[in-house]
Structure 1
């Protein structure tokens, strides 16, 4: 059997869809790796535990290999399977649910045949029309390309769809994504009129087909603009202090009126550990907090969890540990309760959403979603905007009514 080390290629097997993805075993022992990592572009999503159970004595290695159990506690997911002569076979999913998908994996990085003939360039930003449940009329398709190799994503008002990677062959780019969540595939075909046909495939529901144009061409054609993350969500009264009052993971109540927030700039993050974009955002918020807390910044997460996770908060606690969260993390309820629990917010329907409070406790800016690294310049813009908002609010005088 091949050693559990180095880069492998994995495949998720659904009824009508296969999704390939890279993974890597790391550790000192070839038979007992310390970790398994999936990838979202250049970011690794690393397991919280790996256990290898040797096959029982008397069994043929060719028939039954060692059992391998890999925990991703911050995703409430587990990979469980068996080593084989070719590599690994098993199942991945949430052990609390019956939603596991079959996984096979083989050693070696994915390889593809060299492209035959010229490879069209699709690098850049494209826009295509949609009618989303959040009121959006357009999404962006963002591609980064090196020869026949492409990394791309779809950017919505609540964030990007993760880094889809692949290559060009037979007239189209086939791009796949799996980082422990949101598996999917994009088939992208350049058209002679300068547009792209994008077919988005996921395990659930029918494939969705879009026609995208480069951003300048889309505007020239009068296509709708993507939703503005700075205005999509607002508050009913900008002069009213933003109120929160929820328990933290220990059960202690934390409110906006607590002394630790008096006269501080506060970033209030509406989040959930079930949300892939929230996993993308958490490391950034942790670094933002560490950068500015000595100057008077506080960060508060208002976490809305699925009912089954509220029973023991195991995923939430693992999430906090994995992303080195040392700001207040409050348990606000279930996702369906977000409107009733935060009645000051208007059109709050994205995960995540972030409210920036001035020293007086009022909302001075809102940003919806989180554009991660796969979105390229949009991620860079987001980072610069968040820091500029925080720095601007920190420059305001500490004195005066706090409003809390």
Structure 2
């Protein structure tokens, strides 16, 4: 498995655009003597469910950890007696009152109507779910056949990948046909499995009990989502091939569109690029799997652009008009330092996909990537993205770069 620590940097210039309060100032967030101190943060998902995560405060930075992922917050301002910590890439912020040992406030989604979640943090607490140290070694099978929303009319297959250390510390993720749940971290005590992840826009908590044969529990997401899930160990279980889920409709020969850039300029793609092969990335600024894919596509751009590869992103947003969506798109481009063209496709819904890309059959997921050769032939459509928190990322990278090399050599 290939893993990488994801470092998400947020340009501090956003501080000025996020607040017009004349009393705003850079917050002195660092600890005494610039020593790194671990805190335990808690999001109150509902009346009975908490989502814990850890972060480190050091050198005017707050670094949230989810397993091997590191989410770095460096846009921190004070407005009166409130400290505002703007998260990278996504339109979210913590607003807290701080003292030397505790933080109290809330986490807010700025692109949603009245979406807030209570938040507290305690200094010097290094555990995530509890501070028990087990005397006997703990183990759990690594690969699982998972049923999300189990027992409902809308069951969803997934693969669970869990890694448990002898002391019970656990990391893992869930892979679905539309993407993965990214980096999760928690614990397993021989009976209870608890995994949580907070990446700035999604708040996930998976809780389950292991009876020796099956995991059974609840998946919590955001303020209201709570659905059952079950899993059984199965090394042979696979999801459907992501390249066999979305197609070009009969009667269409390729991909073409005319859409505005973030600056409102017309951009037309008439089926092929003059320099060589093209990747069309269907994405959204609100989408963590799109963020992971964009990081990988940046590597592809750096490696292959001079040889003729073109990448074009079509972003679908929560706002119906470009002027309303522009701040989120610009933040994504800036924070991820995207070097290729991004155009605006409209609202993130099936109707917008059908209008802007009418040739697409069975669109399922943001992201979806379309690989087109220099003659305009669609060579592959890949639904979803399993990122660096999964075992699928390395083989996907190998297959993708082999296809690009093949198209460049034609």
Q: With structure 1 as the length reference, what TM-score do the two structures score?
A: 0.83
Higher-Rg member (1/2): 1
Match of 1:273 among 267, 285, 289: 285
Deviation readout 1:265-293 (Å, 9 max, x if unpaired): 10000000111211222111111111111
Alpha carbons of structure 1 residues 40 and 292: separation in structure 2 relative to 1, 3 Å: farther
Which residue of structure 2 aligns with residue 247 of structure 1?
Answer: 260
Give the deviation of 1:70 after TM superposition. Answer: 1.2
1:6 matched residue in structure 2: 37
Q: Which residue among 382, 385, 393 is the counterpart of 2:399?
A: 385
Secondary structure in 2 aligned to 1:374? Answer: coil
Question: Aligned residue for 1:292?
Answer: 304
In the TM superposition, residue 351 of structure 1 has moved relative to its aligned partner by: 0.8
1:22 aligns to 2:61 (yes or no): no
Residue ranges of structure 2 left out of the alignment (5+ in a row): 1-27
Could you report, residue by residue, the CA deviation over 1:168-205 in whole angstroms, capped at 9, with x for unpaired residues? 2372121111111221211233323x333243222344
After superposition, where does 1:347-386 map in structure 2 within 5 Å? Answer: 347-375=362-390, 377-386=391-400
Aligned equivalents of 1:154, 1:248: Cα separation in 2: 34
Q: Deviations over 1:315-351 (max 9, x none)?
A: 1111111111110100111112112211111111201
CA distance in 2, matches of 1:389, 1:39: 34
Indicate the residue corresponding to 2:180 in structure 1.
160
Deviations along 1:76-102, one digit per CA (max 9) or x if unpaired, are: 111111112422111111235311111
Q: Is the 8 A contact 2:281 2:370 kept in 1?
A: yes
How many residues were matched structurally?
369
- For residue 312 of structure 1, report the CA deviation from its aligned partner: 5.1
Match of 1:70 in 2: 85
Alpha-carbon offset, residue 226 of structure 1: 2.1
- 1:215 alignment partner in structure 2: 234
2:342 aligned counterpart, secondary structure: strand
TM-score (normalizing by structure 2): 0.82
Counterpart position of 2:95:
80
Query: Which stretch of structure 1 is more off in the superposition, 44-53 or 352-361?
Result: 44-53
Partner of 1:128 in structure 2?
146
Alignment RMSD, CA only? Answer: 2.7
CA contact (8 A) 1:309 1:315 kept: no
Which residue does 1:321 correspond to in 2?
A: 334
Aligned partners of 1:305 and 1:334 also within 8 Å: yes
Judge conservation of contact 1:73–1:315 (CA < 8 Å) in 2: no
The structural deviation recorded for 1:116 is 4.5
Q: Cα deviation per residue 1:235-285 (whole Å; 9 max; x = unaligned)? A: 1149712112111111121222399x2141100000001112112221111
Judging changes above 3 Å, is the alpha-carbon distance between structure 1 residues 95 and 103 closer, same or farther for their aligned structure 2 residues? same
Matches of 1:81 and 1:206 in 2, distance apart? 25
Structure 1 runs, 4 residues or longer, greater than 6 Å off:
none
